[in-house]
A = this chain, B = another copy of it.
Amino acid sequence: MTPVHSTEARCREFGWEIFERARAAQPRVWHRGWWQQCLLDMSLAYDALRVQLFRFIDVLPVLQSDDAIARHLKEYLDPDRHPMPALGRLALSYAHPKSLHALLIAAMTRRGARMMAGSFIAGNNAEEAIRFVHGLRRRRMAFTLDVLGEFTSSHAQADHYQQTYLDLMNELCPAARTWGFDSLIDRGATGPMPRVNISIKLTALSPSFDAIDPPSAVRSVCHRLRPILRRARDLGAFINVDMESYAYHDLTLELFTRVLEEDEFRGMTDVGIVIQAYLQSAEAHFDRLLSWIRRRGCGIAVRLVKGAYWDMETAVAAQNYSTPPVWLHKWQSDVCYERIARRMLENRRWLRPAFATHNVRTMASVMAAAEQLGADATEYEIQLLNGMGEPLKDALADMGRCVRVYTPYGDQVSGMGYLIRRLLENTANDSFLRQSYRLRDADRLLKDPAEVRPPSRAPRALRFQDTQEDAPMFEFKNEPLTSFTNAVNRERYAAALTHVHGQFGRNYPLVINGETVPTDDWIESVNPSRPTETVGRAAAATTADADHAVAAACRAFRTWRLVDARRRADYLHKAADELRRRRFEFAALITYEAGKPWREADADVSEAIDYLDYYAFHAEHLIHRPRRRDLPGEDNYLVYEPKGVCVVLATWTFPLALLANMTSAALAAGNTVIMKPASATPVVAAWFMDVFRGLDLPPGVLNYLPGDGKTMGRHLVRSTEVHLVAITGSREVGVEVMRAAPDAPASQHHIKKVIAEMGGKNAVIIDDDADIDEAAAGVLKSAFGFSGQKCTACSRAVVLADVYDRFCERLVDAAGAMTIGPADEPATVIGPLIDGSAIRRMAKFLEIARQEGRILLERTDLPAEGYFAGPVIVADVDPSSVIAQEEILGPILCVLHARDFDHALEIANGTRYALTGGLYSRSPAHIERAKRDFLVGNLYVNRKITGSRVDVEPFGGIKMSGDGAKAGGPEYLHGFCNARTITEHTLRHGLASSRELQATA
């Protein structure tokens, strides 16, 4: 066996050869033209500018006029705001976007962008594609065509995507037969290879491509994949399935293997799949794939890539506080790649290896390994991307290697994601492409990646910007959402559903002063997906029970207020731990009792955990370490203390999170609490109560008091011994509580504090340069998630004139594809409403909608059983109409037409509510404008408007949506506290303590 060091030496030899040949080929440099050169020069020199530039390129294809281009160019590349080389500065230094100069620049921009796109993309019709392929074959290179387009949100889009492939094969395959045989690129290890090679992204084949429910995704995707495979088989084309982001990895692999195990495809060999070496699990994936191939018994192709979603994977993981699935260092991916490459070559009897890379070292190591393992040039291929590393391609072809060029095909709008990824790669700091082919760099660049690893240091886990003023006050980490990509989690959820179902029908008595108290009346809580199932029965408290609870809470307060803030925090951290431990159980219960689909229920639990931890940390900070202003001779501090007895009135929209928010803030601050949960979800609250009972919280500190709001609830709120009412509910109830608060009979020694979070009538503005696909998807998630039964839900889409029709179309298409079903079924996106009265309420609003607008969509394909109401989209709604002004709290979405951006803001701000709001736009000026003038408690730009995270996005509305308290924010706890200033004069007869004297001496 050849020793490793000689393979390494061989690798260097190959590397040097590639270098030298590429250098020779370099005059044929790929990019030409002023714009491109300028762009690359600038982006290499100024990092901040690079981002602005690429963002501009992202929006460019949708800009309809030179005016629009000039305006955006100005907004993105304002020379006053971004450092810029002289050339760019000159080009952009014009006064008015409509000046001649500006329009000239705009025209050049458009032309430059078209050129740039053209250098990556093969064309937008078969004719262009064929012409392109001819060019490649002349350079003795093979190709694989990738139809641009990714994640799709409607069946129409998926159909279109499928049809494009079918058409492409129909056109190309007959043409391919006319091409002369080239032994370098048309011959594989076992004979001729298909000349037409297609790459395909499975996420584009179905709007329900979701790992949470593999069987239904498989059903839906295979339905469109099979005809493609058949056509390929019939016409002799090759189909490669691409890999996308990690969330789709397992599902993609499963789909690929499933369909190829089907009888009609069992013998198909002209297919391939991808291994992404930047995944930490890459080698395991390879093992799994290899054993599947062996089991299946006939070979396929495998393309080894490093992976193109590194930025996104790390960002998504950071946002969810989870570990990224990718290697954190470039060299780790490189090492992993080389290891798998070798194993692929070793197993080439089972698979045809394709090595996708632009890294000379990687290519050379593959070639060395191949040589060492006796694989000749027909037994593997090297793949590169169109428009990138052209000298390398020529060098490899000259060296007699089979080079295949990965070439996107389609229009620029749908290809923008692809284009941006390519630009990023070309300009990234550690990209091989950014290096020139100077020979003096060759040795450094050809080093074994395992040896270039930097001195070991822990990867930075920095989450926030590291500036002093932004530094968090305390160590708090959000609880990650469950990844349903992971089969184990899916199984645990299913098991939890079974477990919880087994506990249906139990009775839940009141809990007052640590004792359970049964009552005469009981509240029946049913499963809204199947109302014949009783989730449980909760005791219905009387006003006498309320009095007992207040008395108990009052008694308990005397000692609870004195408990060390750290000990109180400890209870909350323990409760958070318990929820963490039982998170699937709680989520399952929420799925049953509130009718929340899996992901929504899971998020409810994470948020509850966050509140418990957050306020615990915060209380420790606020209460245990008071702010001091000690002067020589005088100690001054500001202490925060509990107020007394707190009544928590929760709603069912977030049966656990909202309850946990108000309750944990109240407890952390040292108040005692009476929880009155919503009558629709008393069982979730009872379980939450049980968590605290399990922690031996002192009796009376937390009491559980479900019951009728109009009688018992109102009585509770008016009790003279209650100091604080925290309420999440309708505006009417909130205002009633607020109005009652200052009333104080003579026996009451305080004014009640009210912390109220009320309704919303939330709008999302869709600007005329928005990414319409993302906007439609975001609006639908915001409007129909949990059937629109969130105070934060999007109820109004305010759409700019230019994109109104297109957006409506996209919206209706996508909404039509959303899965409606019982909440406990994993694929369900839209579950039931909470109860029968909600159904009647929806019917009423639907009737109004019919009168006030044009119904675009009314889904009636609903389950027979359960409180289901289909999503409704109503367009052309007048901003002042009832349907555009009243809170609906259900799956009805209005679409409103806005003349221009000012008008859109006016409409969006034109209700009494101001909870959440959103904007989809790619105009920096409009985004700034909205930040300033779209006056809502939580504004979201270019993302959905529900799902705020504790600490990161403090939550709460203004105007009549709330009193301004921001849950999960730095001041929320203050509302549950009294602040007292304590001043102690410490100078006795001129005697100061030495610490004080130091301060002045």
Q: Which residues of A are at the interface with B, using a C-beta cutoff of 8 A?
A: 47-48, 50-51, 54-55, 58, 308-309, 311-312, 314-319, 324, 328, 416-417, 420-421, 424, 459-460, 462-467, 469-470, 472, 562, 625, 627-634, 636, 638-639, 641, 735, 738-739, 741-744, 746, 748-751, 753, 771, 911-912, 922, 927, 931-932, 935-943, 948, 951-956, 958-960, 963-964, 966, 969-971, 974, 977-1001
Contacts and interface: CB of A to CB of B under 8 A. Distances in A.
Nearest to A741: B738
A999 B318 contact: yes
B562 A993 contact: no
B470 A981 contact: no
B470 A627 contact: yes
28 contacts: A48-B993, A48-B994, A55-B988, A55-B991, A311-B990, A311-B997, A314-B997, A315-B996, A318-B631, A318-B1000, A319-B633, A464-B629, A464-B630, A465-B995, A466-B999, A634-B943, A739-B739, A744-B960, A749-B911, A935-B980, A937-B980, A940-B983, A941-B982, A942-B984, A942-B988, A964-B978, A966-B981, A969-B979
Contact of A315 (B741, B953, B971, B1000): B1000
A750 B48 CA distance: 40
Given A51-B992, A314-B1000, A315-B987, 19 more contacts: A54-B988, A54-B991, A55-B988, A315-B633, A318-B1000, A416-B989, A460-B1000, A469-B627, A472-B629, A562-B932, A744-B960, A748-B912, A750-B958, A937-B981, A939-B983, A940-B983, A940-B985, A964-B977, A971-B974
Contacts of A317: 1000
Contact of A979 (B911, B956, B987): B956
Given A971-B971, A971-B974, A983 B470 contact: no
Nearest to A968: B981
Given A319-B632, A464-B628, A632-B314, A735 B739 contact: no
Contacts of A627: 469-470, 970
Contact of A460 (B738, B942, B953, B1001): B1001
A317 B966 CA distance: 41
B739 A636 contact: no
B992 A58 contact: no
Nearest to A969: B638
Contacts of A943: 634, 983, 985
Nearest to A429: B994
A679 to B, nearest CB: 25
A427 to B, nearest CB: 10
Nearest to A738: B742
Contacts of A459: 1001
Nearest to A943: B985
Contacts of A420: 988-991
Contact of A636 (B466, B562, B952, B979): B952
A187 B180 CA distance: 136
A771 B987 CA distance: 13
Contacts of A912: 746, 748-750
Contacts of A312: 633, 987, 990, 992
Most B C-beta atoms less than 10 A away, residue of A308, A420, A630, A1001: A1001
Contact of A629 (B55, B416, B470, B633): B470
Given A978-B958, A981-B938, A632 B318 contact: yes
Given A51-B993, A971-B974, A1001-B314, A952 B742 contact: no
Nearest to A994: B47
A55 B993 CA distance: 10
Contact of A999 (B463, B743, B952, B985): B463
Contact of A980 (B463, B936, B988): B936
A262 B937 CA distance: 77
Contacts of A315: 631-634, 987, 992, 996-997, 1000
A996 to B, nearest CB: 7
A203 to B, nearest CB: 14
B992 A311 contact: yes
Nearest to A420: B989
A497 to B, nearest CB: 32
A630 B318 CA distance: 11
A770 B328 CA distance: 66
B937 A469 contact: no
B309 A990 contact: yes
A326 to B, nearest CB: 10
B465 A630 contact: yes
A180 to B, nearest CB: 39
Nearest to A944: B985
A86 B3 CA distance: 73
Contacts of A981: 937-939, 948, 953-955, 966, 969
Best-surrounded residue of A48, A420, A959, A979 (most CB of chain B within 10 A): A979
Contact of A738 (B462, B751, B956, B958): B751
A324 B632 CA distance: 12
Nearest to A771: B988
A954 B742 CA distance: 24
Nearest to A916: B981
A516 to B, nearest CB: 33
A974 B739 CA distance: 22
A460 B632 CA distance: 13
A984 B631 contact: no
A988 to B, nearest CB: 5
A971 B979 contact: yes
Contacts of A982: 931, 938-939, 941
A989 B994 CA distance: 61
Contacts of A753: 963-964
Nearest to A633: B315
Contacts of A416: 989
Nearest to A986: B942
Contacts of A970: 627, 638
A577 B608 CA distance: 50
A50 B318 contact: no
A512 to B, nearest CB: 26
A635 to B, nearest CB: 9
Nearest to A631: B319
Nearest to A308: B990
A66 B315 CA distance: 70
- Residue of A467, A746, A966 most packed against chain B (CB within 10 A): A966
A599 B98 CA distance: 65
A953 B971 CA distance: 20
Contacts of A316: 633
A385 to B, nearest CB: 15
A932 B637 CA distance: 13
Contacts of A751: 735, 738, 959-960, 963
Contacts of A466: 999
* Chain B CB within 10 A, most for which of A735, A955, A984: A984
B314 A460 contact: no
The 6 A-B pairs with the shortest beta carbon distances in the complex, nearest first, are A315-B633, A417-B989, A943-B985, A738-B742, A315-B632, A941-B984
A521 B467 CA distance: 57
A633 B977 CA distance: 35
Nearest to A629: B952
Contacts of A741: 738
Contacts of A999: 318, 460, 462-466
